[in-house]
Structure 1
Amino acid sequence: MRAGFVVSKAVGNAVVRNRVKRRLRHLMRDRLAPLPAGSLVVVRALPGAGEADHDELVRDLDAALRRLLGGTTP
């Protein structure tokens, strides 16, 4: 399983974009196991991700993965 991250300039300057990527990468580590073998996932950070706190990122990422895996939508 592999994950890629897209964080555009709309999220913030280079420091903010890199921080968002690091935070998302850290959160995805624990969430890769339920994905089917050989999966490729691309996570796109929306502009608000630069100001989002940890709990918001967790909630949004988990909701997106639930939708991806066919679970219930929040």
Structure 2
Amino acid sequence: MLPAAHRVTDAASFREATRRGRRASSRTMVLHLVAADSAADETGRAAPARIGFVVSKAVGGSVVRNRVQRRLRHLVSARLSSIPVGSVLVIRALPASAASSWARLGRDLDSCLTTVAGQRGAPA
């Protein structure tokens, strides 16, 4: 489970990440990353990376969607240190994620994270 400080809960953050963020995709998912302009929150502490998930009905029924989201959430929680501080990451599951193994989802997530993190310095 992701701590509450690491969750994206507002629609504006989802919208900003999907429209403005760096994008990387694989067979099972699409990642959108918006790097923080400032890595500190209003109290002066480093703002944590925030992650949101989009798992549509195209992935499957509610049981399948919830399973995919739980798997992705678990995989991301193990990789929080590799996500830039203060950034917003949105992970959109594709229909192929429903039938994919943990190992496949992990490889795809690592590959996409490497791609979007490497693009951070590139112009938008």
TM-score by length of 1: 0.90
Higher Rg of the two aligned structures: 2
Match of 1:6 among 54, 68, 83: 54
The CA distance in 1 between the partners of 2:75 and 2:83, in whole Å, is 14
Tell me whether 42-51 or 31-40 shows the greater mean CA deviation: 31-40
In structure 2, the partner of 1:38 is 86
The number of aligned residues is 71
Offset of residue 61 of structure 1:
0.6
SS of the equivalent of 2:118 reads coil
SS of the equivalent of 2:82 reads coil
In structure 1, the partner of 2:70 is 22
Offset of residue 34 of structure 1:
2.0
In structure 2, the partner of 1:48 is 96
The CA distance in 2 between the partners of 1:28 and 1:35, in whole Å, is 9
The answer to which structure, 1 or 2, has the higher relative contact order (CA under 8 A, 6+ apart) is 1
Offset of residue 66 of structure 1:
0.7
Structure 1 stretches of at least 4 aligned residues deviating more than 3 Å after TM superposition: none
The CA distance in 2 between the partners of 1:43 and 1:65, in whole Å, is 10
Map 1:48-67 → 2, pairs under 5 A: 48-67=96-115
Offset of residue 2 of structure 1:
1.0
The CA distance in 1 between the partners of 2:82 and 2:106, in whole Å, is 16
TM-score by length of 2: 0.55
The CA distance in 2 between the partners of 1:48 and 1:36, in whole Å, is 27
Query: Identity of counterpart residues, as a percentage?
Result: 55
Please give the root-mean-square deviation of Cα atoms over the aligned residues, in Å: 1.2
The CA distance in 1 between the partners of 2:108 and 2:59, in whole Å, is 15
Offset of residue 12 of structure 1:
0.5
Unaligned runs of 5+ in 2: 1-48, 120-124
